[in-house]
Amino acid sequence: MLAEIKGLNEECGVFGVFGHPDSAQLTYYGLHSLQHRGQEGTGIVVSNGEKLRVVKGEGLVSEIFTADVMEELKGTSAIGHVRYATAGGGGYENVQPLLFHSQTGSLALAHNGNLVNANILKHQLEAQGSIFQTSSDTEVLAHLIRRSGYPQLKDQVKNALSMLKGAYAYLILTEKELMVALDPHGLRPLSLGCIGNAYVVASETCAFDVVGAEFIRDIRPGELLIINEDGITSEQFAFNSTKSICAMEYVYFSRPDSNIQGINVHTARKNMGKRLAVEAPIEADVVTGVPDSSISAAIGYAEAAGIPYEMGLIKNKYVGRTFIQPTQSLREQGVKMKLSAVRGVVEGKRVVMVDDSIVRGTTSRRIVNLLKEAGATEVHVVISSPPIKNPCFYGIDTSSKEELIASDKSVEEIRQLIGADSLTFLSTEGMVGAIVKTEGTEGFCLGCFTGNYPTEIYPDTLQYYYQK
């Protein structure tokens, strides 16, 4: 499905390099492959061992980092960020990495995720004299680091991280070091790789393939990695860490060529489609997937159901971001510009339409309409995840609870609203089983489906998400 028109957006992606003469160039390529995680702003901070230099702006990686700009970014370590603005909103000042200077040196931060106690910490820090440059929750970490009384940066960072609650994959760059930290629940993906003696870190392993890096391992929940001239060291800053990786990374957000926790995303999606075929057997003539993220699940459904997979919907790849408008009517118009039904495939046919999720329902209604206008006699919608009934507090913009169609409507009510002949969602157990091939749902955050979140959620965070 198309993130921009669906109302389901990843917040960010991060990429970092230590110990490579082309660190900025590698970061550019890495960020380019993570562009699907955020298109509103991007930045790179590079270190030449003595100074940090930042270039950032609102726009796509290819728009901000022109050849001239890249010429100026020289150094052996770098961190980069692509941003979709949610917490704190947009604007240049919130584009990351954030760069801070002090008497003892500089520090740059890139963050993927969302803190659930950011407002509480901000109030406390402001009461102690901090002045924030941005409205982003990321800046809280910089203030906590600088206010920590420990003499060593490593201990300052560990102390600061121990105060944060929520989802965070942080890259912290100083003149001499790259630090990498993942929250105690490992909510967001973060992997370590290498190119020769240089280390690379990325939100998704697809970025490693692009820069020719070899995958080493995933960062562990509650782990702090410190990479410098002496090599790499690992420490746990949280000992009660329990893995709860975001299930939506497998369903929708990550690229199909990425592996998360050793599981290929395309394979997981294909297995979700296969599970759906078991949970929702339908008599139909063709199976089609909503491009791009539902194609894998549609292939799996077709394979398991023994129904031909066809390209019943095609995506217009050349519609630019400028067409994306926030209003409902323009959003609906956007669907027409972005997707077309293939009449030659669906006319006179009973169609199974596989999609990864339903957020507001408006997009699903438009796509069902497109297929029916193109002559489909029946459209059966099957969704490769459970109904999204609750907001996400961890960095995914799932719209407010009121906007989530499944928050107060039954499956039958949603079916009627989207005009489908039948509607089936994959069960929670079916989704997790398709990813890990084991019984039970441990190891995953399923908060937006079940309402059970792996961390405490604070009243002001709840208020923000329920009223935004």
Length of the chain: 468
Binding to ligand SF4 (CB under 6 A): which residues in 394-423?
A: 394, 396
Report d(CA 458, CA 447) in Å as an integer.
Answer: 15
> Taking the complex as a whole, how short is the minimal distance between the CB of residue 448 and ligand SF4, in angstroms?
3
Q: Are 335 and 363 in contact (CB under 8 A)?
A: yes
The verdict on 184 binding ligand SF4 (CB under 6 A) reads no
The verdict on 182 binding ligand SF4 (CB under 6 A) reads no
Q: How is residue 379 written in tokens?
A: 């459209």
* Total interface residues for ligand SF4 by CB under 6 A: 11
- Distances in Å between the Cα of 9 and the Cα atoms of 31, 72, 243, 465 are 17, 32, 22, 15
Given strand 105-112, what is the order of strands in its sheet? 98-102, 105-112, 169-173, 178-182, 223-228, 231-236
Whichever of 184 and 447 has its CB closer to ligand SF4, that residue is 447
SS3 state at 260: strand
> Taking the complex as a whole, how short is the minimal distance between the CB of residue 188 and ligand SF4, in angstroms?
8
Nearest to 346 by CA among 276, 401, 262, 286: 286
Q: Are 87 and 137 in contact (CB under 8 A)?
A: yes
Whichever of 75 and 361 has its CB closer to ligand SF4, that residue is 361
Binding to ligand SF4 (CB under 6 A): which residues in 306-335?
A: none
DSSP letters spanning 449-461: HHS--SS---HHH
Report d(CA 263, CA 429) in Å as an integer.
Answer: 17
> Taking the complex as a whole, how short is the minimal distance between the CB of residue 394 and ligand SF4, in angstroms?
4
Characterize 277-311 residue by residue with b for buried, 16 or more Cβ atoms within 10 angstroms of its Cβ, and e for exposed.
beebebebbbbbbbbebbbbbbbbbbebbebebbe
Q: How is residue 408 written in tokens?
A: 């107060």
Contacts of 355 (CB under 8 A, 6+ apart): 1, 289, 290, 294, 364, 367, 381, 382, 383, 384
Report d(CA 267, CA 424) in Å as an integer.
Answer: 21
> Taking the complex as a whole, how short is the minimal distance between the CB of residue 129 and ligand SF4, in angstroms?
34
Among 445, 455, 461, 465, binds ligand SF4 (CB under 6 A): 445
Q: Is 12 a catalytic residue?
A: yes
Q: How is residue 323 written in tokens?
A: 């067409």
Among 7, 78, 448, 461, binds ligand SF4 (CB under 6 A): 448
Report d(CA 452, CA 98) in Å as an integer.
Answer: 32
Q: Are 83 and 95 in contact (CB under 8 A)?
A: yes
The verdict on 392 binding ligand SF4 (CB under 6 A) reads yes
The verdict on 290 binding ligand SF4 (CB under 6 A) reads no
> Taking the complex as a whole, how short is the minimal distance between the CB of residue 447 and ligand SF4, in angstroms?
3
Whichever of 187 and 426 has its CB closer to ligand SF4, that residue is 187
The verdict on 446 binding ligand SF4 (CB under 6 A) reads yes
Whichever of 45 and 396 has its CB closer to ligand SF4, that residue is 396
The verdict on 12 binding ligand SF4 (CB under 6 A) reads no
> Taking the complex as a whole, how short is the minimal distance between the CB of residue 359 and ligand SF4, in angstroms?
11
> Taking the complex as a whole, how short is the minimal distance between the CB of residue 393 and ligand SF4, in angstroms?
7
Whichever of 187 and 211 has its CB closer to ligand SF4, that residue is 187
C-alpha 190: how far from its chain's center? 11
Whichever of 15 and 168 has its CB closer to ligand SF4, that residue is 168
Whichever of 6 and 380 has its CB closer to ligand SF4, that residue is 6
Whichever of 351 and 445 has its CB closer to ligand SF4, that residue is 445
The verdict on 431 binding ligand SF4 (CB under 6 A) reads no
The verdict on 7 binding ligand SF4 (CB under 6 A) reads no
Strand-pair category, 350-355 with 378-383 = parallel
Interface with ligand SF4 by CB under 6 A: which range of 45-53, 352-360, 410-418, 443-451? 443-451
The verdict on 465 binding ligand SF4 (CB under 6 A) reads no
The verdict on 187 binding ligand SF4 (CB under 6 A) reads yes
Q: How is residue 105 written in tokens?
A: 């040196």
Interface with ligand SF4 by CB under 6 A: which range of 13-21, 268-276, 335-343, 389-397? 389-397
> Taking the complex as a whole, how short is the minimal distance between the CB of residue 390 and ligand SF4, in angstroms?
7
In which residue are the tokens 């870190």 written? Answer: 201
Binding-site string for ligand SF4 from residue 239 to residue 258, where x marks contact by CB under 6 A and - marks none = -------xxx----------
Catalytic residues: 12
Write out the residues near ligand SF4 by the rule CB under 6 A: 187, 246-248, 392, 394, 396, 445-448
